Structure 1
Amino acid sequence: MTWWCSARDVAWTWSWQAYPGVWLFVAALVLLYVAAIVTLGPRHTAPDERSVHPGRMASFGFGILALWIATDWPLGALGAGYLLSVHTVQYLLYTFVAPPLILLGLPRWLPLVLERRPKAWRVLCFFARPIVALVTVNAVLLVTHLPPVVDGFRRSQLGSFTIDLAWLLAGLIMWWPVLAPRPEAGRLSEPWKIGYLFLTTIVPTVPAGFFVFSDFPIYALYELAPRVQGIAAGADQQAAGLLMKAGDPIIWLAMLVVFVRWSTREAKVDALDLAEHRRAAALGRGESGGTRAR
């Protein structure tokens, strides 16, 4: 039985195939989330307070859905052994779509739970450092797109699972400094978030450039794979290069959201300061008038 999507030397068909390992992986993440809410939530929230806001649960659900779509048939099978462009779509879903949605779905009290576990907290604080996060996500991007890694790992279920898991973990690490549930868990301030997010857009240009401008297919796996819908290996590789930069609009949108929230918060602070200043000035004038009257 095939548990995880990997390269297969057979012609592609649109006949559905089951991958139980994918289902078990997705189900395990959902069960872990529910178990944490049910068992730990009441200990860290007031009796009349929800353990998790419904909006956060919806975000987590959409993140898991994106993860499932990227991993299961047909994207999982196409990306593992037929089309480099679909492989790139998987990377985008694993790194730029599923992780932020999953992190937005985490309870705000989760860092408090991890803080009581010193080893887990030290690991979290280490990877939450912006420099460490940037190095990690970029290293995973470059290593998992080396020809020996792609051609070798994608041919086995364990190797393909390793690449997928590395992408997911790297995505979670990348987005954590931006979307951590609490500031003390490593969340950056708004100005630093914008600069950090900008830096994440630089390194993906390297594989994207190789994909677009290379005269020959880079990966033997996708060059020699049975063709799907008559798509040539060269055209598939160029499409993959263009798609590799499709994550940039997501990053720019995130930067815009951060900037708008920052500007709104600063405007509110300025308005409060102005109101306080006017109130103090009015009190000062009143006291001066009372003194002159006496």
Structure 2
Amino acid sequence: MLGLQYFSFTDLWSPLFMAFMLLIIGGYFVVIGPLSEKFEGAEHVSLGQKVLFVSGIAILYLAQGGPVSLLGHTMFTFHMLSMALSYLVAPPLVMLGIPVWLWRAALRVNPFRRLSFLASPIVAAVLFNGLFSLYHIPVIHDYVMLHFTAHRLYYLILLITSVLMWWTLIRPLPEEKGISSLKKIGYIFLNMVLLTPACALIIFAKEPMYATFSDPNAWAKAMGYCTSGDPSALLRAYGGPKFFNILDTTVDQQVGGIVMKFTQEFIFASMMGYVFYNWYKNENNNDDEQVLPRMEPADQNISQR
């Protein structure tokens, strides 16, 4: 299916990365379990939070080390799916799965306190969406995909900036002063708008933009970072990415842009609906809880008569 049968278990599942992610999950359960008594204000972590954390880590693994990652090197559609899962789906799940007392302990020893301004709403939104859009400029995208160190570093920076972008909406620390519901809606809308130009550029392109999905030699070199063996053997065996792509290269590129934009729109539209619902509910509760005016002494005398 989609050519996965041509690759080994190691190529498909990246055992080293799998082990690393399992260590993170194991460390999480050790910290919230046996070691929790060492943290000030530690409380029981609900099953829901545990499920959210493990789900977020699992999604991040599938997107960056599992079959979705490998398919992201053969079809642009899966590349964009991997990006959406990595930066729009996994981070909020992981953040919601971390208990408040653990966030407090982690931030207490944060060596980057002077860079806290990066988490401010406007800066975080511009940083993440700007870096994401910059990455999909063809010359930059192909350079990052063809240079292993740049690839890992850029993806790590994107992950960090996505966490900063989500911080305003998740607000892990309840004691932090958050923005109003109206500003949250504006913030969500800002993120939706900022990503639109990059997606539109990809969706409406009339020809392939990225060498790593159209040039056999560039594709083979990029594949060499996620598969074992000699990349040139891929060329001899399959001839290039078209062997695996079930769509025309340009159509695949357009579908990828649609997948990214649709995923973002769905997630942020859902978040906007949630924020608006809570805003509406709180406004109604405030109206219902208005205190009736007290009776003046004269009124009390009249009532006694």
TM-score range, shorter chain: 0.7 to 0.9
Q: 1:122 to 1:29 in 2, by over 3 A?
A: farther
The amino acid across from 2:241 in the alignment is P
SS of the residue corresponding to residue 269 of structure 1 reads helix
Contact 2:126–2:194 (8 Å) recurs in 1: no
**In 1, Cα distance between the equivalents of 2:265 and 2:51?**
24
- Equivalent position of 1:69 in the other structure: 62
- Equivalent position of 2:271 in the other structure: 254
- Equivalent position of 2:118 in the other structure: 127
Q: CA deviation at 1:129?
A: 0.5
Does 2:55 match 1:44? no
**In 1, Cα distance between the equivalents of 2:158 and 2:203?**
22
**In 2, Cα distance between the equivalents of 1:17 and 1:164?**
24
| Structural mapping, 1:8-19, within 5 Å | 12-14=3-5, 15-18=7-10, 19=14
Contact 2:104–2:173 (8 Å) recurs in 1: no
SS of the residue corresponding to residue 160 of structure 1 reads helix
| Structural mapping, 1:234-249, within 5 Å | 234-246=250-262, 247-249=264-266
**In 2, Cα distance between the equivalents of 1:148 and 1:21?**
30
List structure 1 runs of 4+ shifted beyond 6 angstroms: none
**In 2, Cα distance between the equivalents of 1:24 and 1:207?**
34
| Structural mapping, 1:146-165, within 5 Å | 146-165=137-156
Determine what percentage of the aligned residue pairs are the same residue: 28
CA shift digits 1:151-206 (9 cap, x unpaired): 12223443433343233222211111110212444643322211101100112211
- Equivalent position of 1:106 in the other structure: 98
- Equivalent position of 2:157 in the other structure: 166
Q: CA deviation at 1:106?
A: 1.7
- Equivalent position of 1:20 in the other structure: 15
| Structural mapping, 1:78-227, within 5 Å | 78-79=71-72, 81-117=73-109, 119-123=111-115, 125-185=116-176, 187-224=178-215, 225-227=240-242
SS of the residue corresponding to residue 119 of structure 1 reads coil
- Equivalent position of 1:7 in the other structure: none
Contact 2:75–2:241 (8 Å) recurs in 1: no
| Runs of 5+ consecutive residues of structure 2 not aligned to the other structure | 216-239
Contact 1:193–1:258 (8 Å) recurs in 2: yes
Contact 1:223–1:233 (8 Å) recurs in 2: yes
Q: CA deviation at 1:93?
A: 0.6
Q: 1:214 to 1:116 in 2, by over 3 A?
A: closer
Contact 1:60–1:105 (8 Å) recurs in 2: yes
Contact 1:114–1:120 (8 Å) recurs in 2: no
Q: CA RMSD in A?
A: 2.6
**In 1, Cα distance between the equivalents of 2:127 and 2:37?**
31
SS of the residue corresponding to residue 245 of structure 1 reads helix
Q: CA deviation at 1:245?
A: 0.9
The amino acid across from 1:208 in the alignment is C
**In 2, Cα distance between the equivalents of 1:271 and 1:110?**
37
SS of the residue corresponding to residue 198 of structure 1 reads helix
The amino acid across from 1:70 in the alignment is A
TM-score (norm 1): 0.82
How many residue pairs get aligned? The number is: 273
**In 1, Cα distance between the equivalents of 2:135 and 2:212?**
14
Match of 1:54 among 47, 70, 90: 47
**In 2, Cα distance between the equivalents of 1:236 and 1:21?**
30
Contact 1:128–1:186 (8 Å) recurs in 2: no
**In 2, Cα distance between the equivalents of 1:42 and 1:191?**
39
**In 1, Cα distance between the equivalents of 2:260 and 2:204?**
13
Q: 1:235 to 1:202 in 2, by over 3 A?
A: same
| Runs of 5+ consecutive residues of structure 1 not aligned to the other structure | 1-10
Q: CA deviation at 1:114?
A: 4.0
SS of the residue corresponding to residue 139 of structure 1 reads helix
Q: CA deviation at 1:115?
A: 4.8
**In 2, Cα distance between the equivalents of 1:129 and 1:41?**
32
Contact 1:59–1:104 (8 Å) recurs in 2: yes
CA shift digits 1:212-232 (9 cap, x unpaired): 222221101101242214422
- Equivalent position of 1:6 in the other structure: none
Q: 1:105 to 1:220 in 2, by over 3 A?
A: same
**In 2, Cα distance between the equivalents of 1:243 and 1:41?**
44
